[in-house]
Amino acid sequence: MLKKSVVEHTLEAALETGADFAELYVEQTKRNHIAMVNGQVETALGGLDYGAGIRLFCGNRVIYAFVNDTSEENLVRTAREMASTVKGTHLLRLPDWKTRQWQNINPIFVLPDDVEKRKKADYLAAASAAAFAYDPAITQTRTGFLDVTKNVLVANSEGVWAEERRVRSRFTVEAVASSATEKQSGHLGPGGSVGFELFDQINVEDTAREAARIAMTMLGAKPCPAGKMPVVIDNGFGGVIFHEACGHGLEATAVARNASVFAGKLGQQIASPLVTAIDDGTIPNGWGSANMDDEGTPTRRNVLIENGILKTYLVDRMNGRKMGAAVTGSARRENYRFAPTSRMTNTFLAPGDSTPESIIADTPYGLYAKQMGGGSVDPATGAFNFAVLEAYIIRNGQICEPVRGATLIGKGAEVLMQIDKVGNNLKRAQGMCGSISGSIPTDVGQPMIRVKEMTVGGRG
Amino acid sequence: MDYKNFQKILIEKALAAGFSDCEVYYKGSKHFEVMIMEGEVSDYENSALQGISFRGTWQGRTGYAYTEKLTEPAADYLVAAAKEHAELLSESEWEELYHAGDAYPALEGENKALERLTTEEKILAAKKMEHAALKGEDSIASMDYCVLDTDWMETAIANSYGLSLYHAKNSVTAYVCAIAKDGEEVKTGSYFWKGNDWKQFDPVATGRKAAQIAASHLGAAPIASGKYKVVLDGPVMANFLGVFCGVFFAENIQKGFSMLGGKVGEQIAADCVTLRDDPLLPEGYASTPFDSEGVPCYNKAVVENGVLKTYLYNRKAARKDGVPSTGNGFKAGLTAPIKTAVTNFYLAPGQRSQAELLADMGEGILITDITGLHAGANTVSGDFSLSAEGFLVTDGKLGQAVEQITVAGNFYELLKNITEAANDLYFTSGGKGAPSVRVREMDIAGK
């Protein structure tokens, strides 16, 4: 994207005053988004994101700048301004470039940016029609398709030169069911680091009918009862609970400044022995997968917790320096406007032995959270909260009536210890994760699990 | 090339390509940020950005495209992409562009003195803020973050009808979060200051306040589930308004995504509830003289003494209802189309202090924090169920800190159940405002 000489001159200017590390990140992104309301195209958008981020380290200090004028003159001037805030002792010279290469883990068959937009809209219309056909009480639909083609270059003062083209596609569907007095909605959003072939892998009509089914189920549902009770969380997007309750607390971003309840706990039992948790950026065509992270380090599979024992944190370059830990290929950022930091990729709980049927049958009373919504956490305290989109009461080992408006709250360190059943039906689902380096695609996942006791919020 | 040149060339190219009209929205920004950790600068950030969002009428439909590259090939891309996008749309998707001619309110958004502030002064203030937070209370163990930002932003809108608008604004934002510890118990407390008059910024008070908030929540415990009388702290009510303000947007009402259809002129809230959207509020965080469509902005009551006075309109929604735009047509960024948004949107304060409201309530709970609004709130039905923290109130006084509870309810009902608004109006950094409010009763889940 940039000439080698421009990159070299920029990094040399950045190192002039003795910084001990310099990095240039350049990005050009083509983005297309089509959204339908009730089967009519309401939004068709697209555009070009373009810019560069320069980063310097001097000891534990980070200096970051980003611009979208990437002329050599502007980049060198910006680098020099940054360097003027550094009084370092290092006199680094750029080594020869070591170009990073790999076997592409995310092969793309049909580049979505090349596909006629009308073809994309046809899939969305079919999904909308399928949702409406599911039940006359489905009164509104929203369907969408987003594709992103991002070209990234990372070059740094250690001679790393790494480039990658990242392609992601995602289909979303929301169905709204209405009665005279209320509206309930169901939504799903399958996607991956895949091209337009996404539509060969999923059936948009089945997905739309599933969203409609959730909306219809919740339409008749009574408000969820409140209080402490056992909670069975189903597979797939249920994994968001680990993502929030624990995952963010294992990011070096929080650990390095001692703002995580899991800081200083390596090698200790932090979860029930049934829990093994993995963050794997190398799952082929995974939503959170890439060949390299945003510091140019190859991604990898990191076992975070093994049989309840904390094995590793997710570590980026700067926080690794502060903690004396090696990088784990986990540095990510939304775009050039953010300095990278340690983030999750595809995070999931490994499957256990229990069948889903036996977990339900073994629960005399509790909440069955079939579809989770989003959530958030304060990593410093571990306090988290989630919305449950589709939930039922379990009574005498049977799934009974649906309930709506349930919220789950708790503290990560406590809930991990309270997991007393882990199913054998691992499934992953796609989400967007927001944190200090922006909003990035991440997979969450788990088999069905049971938490012995959780606080359930609701109006019933 | 510079944006003025780019605007001119782009309009010419679009008209030549067959667009019947078009608009070029430009946004430029400069941002500086410094983060302090343990008395030293840990992160330091600088940026300069610019970008263009284009929209134009192509065969009766409105096509959009955006770019962050201001080059001639990018202009050609915008014209071609906007045309392709327009062709996909149904015929009703037309946004009539604004014709010039109206007068605009005078609003000074830029304080030139702020641009002269040196980096050293900013760093020194941020260090003072961190120090004050760390020393603010004995229980403060470490910092979550301590950051000082300065922002400068310019917006320029030009269209083929001769409209040409420009507005610049700048601000400083300081935000700080302290961590208090007592044994294994951990609590965070955050606070911020925002404005463009540096002289008003008191870093020591800001840091100390964060420390006090964190320390005050130590010793917290859940309370028994049940119905409680409640006072919502100003920031909590302001966050509710931020999440649910979409129920007042005409475009949501027209699509059936709000329950307020056909309710203008009706009582939808308690008598003591007045909600205003005031884009011209002096020193307002979201103040602006015109919206993203170039329509002049003005101060208006959305709800007055409980009665719904108006919906909030962009031009397209206004056309559908046969009324003028209320100047609430905004885009969330370059990549976004024109939607509806509020500016400084607030619940008008009452006469008495929060302490007086608590004294009146006698027994109940003061809620000071809610989290999970992005997932635990249904913006269509108004239902919410959120994680919360606060304090028990006994004999009209603050008591035991409370944590690990949820508060559940419905926004439409909440508006009706407010019995009094206090005089402590608070604004979030996004411009949503509210004083503390007393609420008849809410559902709490805890022990």
Output A384 or A348, whichever has higher pLDDT.
A348
Compute the residue count for chain B: 447
As a whole number of angstroms, the distance between CA A355 and CA A338 comes to 43
- Out of A378, A384, A405, closest to residue B383 by CB: A405
Q: What is the mean pLDDT of residues B341-359?
A: 98
**A400 pLDDT more than 80:** yes
**pLDDT recorded at residue B280:** 96
Could you tell me which CATH class the domain B3-214 is placed in?
Answer: alpha beta
As a whole number of angstroms, the distance between CA B211 and CA B190 comes to 8
pLDDT tens-digit readout, B256-269: 888 999 999 999 99
Compute the residue count for chain A: 460
As a whole number of angstroms, the distance between CA A151 and CA A294 comes to 12
**A88 pLDDT more than 90:** no
Would strands B40-58 and B21-37 be described as parallel, antiparallel, or unpaired?
antiparallel
**What single letter denotes the amino acid at residue B224?**
A
As a whole number of angstroms, the distance between CA B336 and CA A391 comes to 34
As a whole number of angstroms, the distance between CA B218 and CA B378 comes to 31
pLDDT-based confidence at residue A180 (cuts at 50, 70, 90): confident
For chain A, the C-alpha Rg in angstroms (whole number) is 24
**What single letter denotes the amino acid at residue A208?**
A
For chain B, the C-alpha Rg in angstroms (whole number) is 24
Which distant-in-sequence residues (6+ apart) come within 8 Å of A415 by Cβ? A241, A245, A384, A451, A454
Q: Answer whether A62 sits within 8 Å of B64, measured CB to CB.
A: no
According to DSSP, residue A354 is labeled: B
pTM metric for this prediction:
0.89
Q: Answer whether B337 sits within 8 Å of A43, measured CB to CB.
A: yes
Q: Do B90 and A41 form a contact (C-beta atoms < 8 A)?
A: yes
Strands, DSSP E only, in A59-190? 61-67, 98-99, 138-156, 160-178, 183-188
Q: Answer whether A380 sits within 8 Å of B403, measured CB to CB.
A: no
As a whole number of angstroms, the distance between CA A365 and CA A371 comes to 19
Q: Which residue do the tokens 């005053």 mark?
A: A17
- Give A375→chain B minimum CA distance, Å: 6
At A128 the three-state DSSP class reads helix
Strands, DSSP E only, in A71-127? 98-99
Q: Answer whether A41 sits within 8 Å of B42, measured CB to CB.
A: no
**pLDDT recorded at residue A375:** 84
**What single letter denotes the amino acid at residue A57?**
F
Which chain A residue's Cα is nearest to B256? A140
**pLDDT recorded at residue B380:** 81
Is the CB of residue B369 less than 8 Å away from at least one CB of chain A? no
Q: Answer whether B40 sits within 8 Å of A176, measured CB to CB.
A: no
- CA neighbor of B82 nearest in space, from B27, B20, B19, B8: B19
At B131 the three-state DSSP class reads helix
**A328 pLDDT more than 80:** yes
Q: What does the block give as tokens for A259? A: 């703002």
In chain B, residues under CATH classification 3.30.2290.10 are 3-214
Q: Domain locations in chain A?
A: 112-149+166-219, 227-457
Which distant-in-sequence residues (6+ apart) come within 8 Å of B10 by Cβ? B22, B24, B52, B54, B75, B78, B79
Q: Answer whether A226 sits within 8 Å of B443, measured CB to CB.
A: yes
Mutate to test the interface with A, among B406, B413, B417, B441 (most CBs of A within 10 A): B406
- Rounded to two decimals, the ipTM of the complex is 0.84
Angle (nearest 5°) at CA B370 between B211 and A348? 100
**How would you classify residue B382: left for phi > 0, otherwise alpha for psi between -120 and 50, otherwise beta?**
left
Q: What does the block give as tokens for B160? A: 């083929």
**pLDDT recorded at residue A215:** 94
- Give A107→chain B minimum CA distance, Å: 27
**pLDDT recorded at residue A35:** 95
pLDDT-based confidence at residue A319 (cuts at 50, 70, 90): very high
Which distant-in-sequence residues (6+ apart) come within 8 Å of B102 by Cβ? B295, B296
- Out of B48, B86, B88, closest to residue A67 by CB: B48
Q: What is the mean pLDDT of residues B209-230?
A: 95
**pLDDT recorded at residue B352:** 98
Is the CB of residue B224 less than 8 Å away from at least one CB of chain A? no
pLDDT-based confidence at residue A339 (cuts at 50, 70, 90): very high
CB atoms within 10 A of CB A3: 9
Q: Which residues of B touch A83 (CB under 8 A)?
A: none
As a whole number of angstroms, the distance between CA B125 and CA B207 comes to 10
CB atoms within 10 A of CB A355: 13
At A211 the three-state DSSP class reads helix
**What single letter denotes the amino acid at residue A388?**
V
Which chain B residue's Cα is nearest to A256? B144
pLDDT-based confidence at residue A85 (cuts at 50, 70, 90): confident
Is the CB of residue B445 less than 8 Å away from at least one CB of chain A? yes
Strands, DSSP E only, in A38-133? 40-58, 61-67, 98-99
At A124 the three-state DSSP class reads helix
Q: Answer whether A140 sits within 8 Å of B67, measured CB to CB.
A: no
Interface A:B, Cβ pairs < 8 A: 224
pLDDT tens-digit readout, A430-459: 999 999 999 999 999 999 999 999 999 887
pLDDT tens-digit readout, A413-432: 999 999 999 999 999 999 99
pLDDT tens-digit readout, B402-430: 999 999 999 999 999 999 999 999 999 99
Q: What is the mean pLDDT of residues B71-86?
A: 94
pLDDT-based confidence at residue B100 (cuts at 50, 70, 90): confident
Q: Answer whether A457 sits within 8 Å of B119, measured CB to CB.
A: no
- CA neighbor of A310 nearest in space, from A350, A260, A276: A276
As a whole number of angstroms, the distance between CA A17 and CA A85 comes to 9
Could you tell me which CATH class the domain A112-149+166-219 is placed in?
Answer: alpha beta
**B102 pLDDT more than 90:** no
pLDDT-based confidence at residue A182 (cuts at 50, 70, 90): confident
Chain B, window 379-438: residues with a beta carbon less than 8 angstroms from a chain A beta carbon: 380-381, 383, 385-387, 403-409
**pLDDT recorded at residue A458:** 82
Q: Do A424 and A417 form a contact (C-beta atoms < 8 A)?
A: no
Which chain B residue's Cα is nearest to A68? B49
Q: Which residues of B touch A376 (CB under 8 A)?
A: 371-372, 374-375
- CA neighbor of B228 nearest in space, from B443, B407, B414, B445: B443
Q: What does the block give as tokens for A196? A: 């337009």
Q: Which residue do the tokens 């088999």 mark?
A: A447
**pLDDT recorded at residue B257:** 82
Burial class (CB in 10 A: 0-12, 13-18, 19+), B225: buried
Q: How large is the greatest C-alpha to C-alpha distance in chain B, in angstroms?
A: 74
Which distant-in-sequence residues (6+ apart) come within 8 Å of A445 by Cβ? A235, A236, A239, A346, A347, A348, A349, A426, A427, A428, A429
- Out of A64, A373, A459, closest to residue B43 by CB: A64
**pLDDT recorded at residue B193:** 97
Output A206 or B108, whichever has higher pLDDT.
A206
At A324 the three-state DSSP class reads coil
Query: A117-134 and A204-219 helices cross at what angle (nearest 10)?
Result: 40
**B243 pLDDT more than 80:** yes
**A26 pLDDT more than 80:** yes
pLDDT-based confidence at residue A373 (cuts at 50, 70, 90): confident
As a whole number of angstroms, the distance between CA B232 and CA B442 comes to 10
**Average pLDDT score over chain A:** 95
Sheet holding A309-310, edge to edge: A309-310, A301-306, A277-280, A346-349, A438-446, A427-435
- Helix (DSSP H) and strand (DSSP E) numbers for chain A: 10, 24
Q: What does the block give as tokens for A455? A: 């606080």
pLDDT-based confidence at residue A376 (cuts at 50, 70, 90): confident
- CA neighbor of B123 nearest in space, from B35, B48, B53, B63: B35
**B92 pLDDT more than 80:** no
**B442 pLDDT more than 90:** yes
Chain B, window 274-333: residues with a beta carbon less than 8 angstroms from a chain A beta carbon: none
Q: Do A135 and A177 form a contact (C-beta atoms < 8 A)?
A: yes
Q: What does the block give as tokens for B154? A: 């310019």
**A220 pLDDT more than 90:** no
As a whole number of angstroms, the distance between CA B382 and CA A124 comes to 28
pLDDT tens-digit readout, B108-148: 999 999 999 999 999 999 999 999 999 999 999 999 999 99
pLDDT tens-digit readout, B295-322: 999 999 999 999 999 999 999 999 999 9
The DSSP element (H or E) to which B42 belongs, if any, is: strand B40-58
pLDDT tens-digit readout, B14-71: 999 999 999 999 999 999 999 999 999 998 899 999 999 999 999 999 999 999 999 9
- CA neighbor of A223 nearest in space, from B322, B326, B406, B330: B406
The DSSP element (H or E) to which A73 belongs, if any, is: helix A72-83
**What single letter denotes the amino acid at residue A398?**
Q
